[in-house]
Amino acid sequence: MDTDESSTQHEFRGRGLGRGAWRRFGLVLALVAVCAILAAAKPQAISIDYVLTLLRQIAINGILAVGVTYVLLTGGVDLSLGSVVALTGVVAATFAHPGAYPLALPLGMGLLTGALCGTVNGLVVTRGRVAPFIATLGMMTAARGLAYIISGGRPVSRLRPDFNAIGSGDIAGIPIPVVLLGAVAVVSAVFLRHTRAGRHLYATGGNETAAYASGINVHAAKTLAYVVCGALAGLAGIVQAARSTTGQPNAGMMYELDAIASVVIGGTSLSGGAGGVGGTLLGALLMGMIASGLDMLNVPSYYQQVVKGLIIIGAVMLDRRGSK
């Protein structure tokens, strides 16, 4: 690695750490405040069972949020996440009937389908020079259509028990979806902060022109981000299908907004080059706690949508202010 490339990467990594530090501190305070409110209103909210249930509920959004962190770090966006969740869930469920195939096949097909969707997104953005918003919007429509075509417009049911256990089972008392989220988060955090490819993502999002001038293959970095994001959407689709015990072509509606909101709340900049997995997890946890708290307080779902929309707007405004 030459001097220019090293200085470029360290500059944007340092900026990301600085932004993430103050944002995560604010997130921790917000989480404490929400916990205090819930504990006062509903004392059962501080029980271990409630915490494990909450973590199981946010695991899918957390996995998606970690994936979209890669894309946002490069200055892109992925609006196809919800549709890819539906498509990969249907594909995995199709191969998950009892006695038909080994468990590894539905898992591999789900991940492969998600990665292929991400690859198409990455190539359309980099080689086709299509804006990420438009490219992933097209994938959102196409993937949803493919989910309905493969499933025949009906849920794919009668799944094998060991597949369903991925969504409802436990390992040493910890829900399997939470274990998967933890593994994804740890691997991603190490990859982004301690590998050359991870540093290239930060540099590409921070200043694409400078990254290119320092010898970074920005097209490869962007494509990698979309492939990883797609593969993690595939994992989320598998967990979703296993949890609901069916592959549903209408699953994942609006999941992309929750995931993007969690990432932005966690301090990852929409303009790229700043942020990380730690903040993303805090953002997903805060979003999940607010949603769960509103449910516990019997707030109607349409009011919850208003609250969620205000949170997203506020997060984007904070991001814009921080960028300035």
CATH of the domain at 180: 1.10.3470
pLDDT of 77-114, one tens digit each?
999 999 999 999 999 999 999 888 999 999 999 999 99
- Dihedral (CA of 191, 172, 64, 58) sign: negative
Contacts of 140 (CB under 8 A, 6+ apart): 79, 80, 82, 83, 256
For the ranges 23-32, 114-123, 274-283, the one whose mean pLDDT is highest: 114-123
Q: In which domain, by residue range, is 168 found?
A: 3-323
Question: Are 315 and 307 spatial neighbours (Cβ–Cβ below 8 Å)?
Answer: no
pLDDT of residue 33: 79
Residue type, 195: T
Q: Read off the pTM.
A: 0.88
Q: Residue 252 belongs to what H/E stretch? A: none
Number of domains present in the structure of the chain: 1
Q: For 37-51, 120-134, 178-192, which range has the lowest pLDDT when averaged over its residues?
A: 37-51
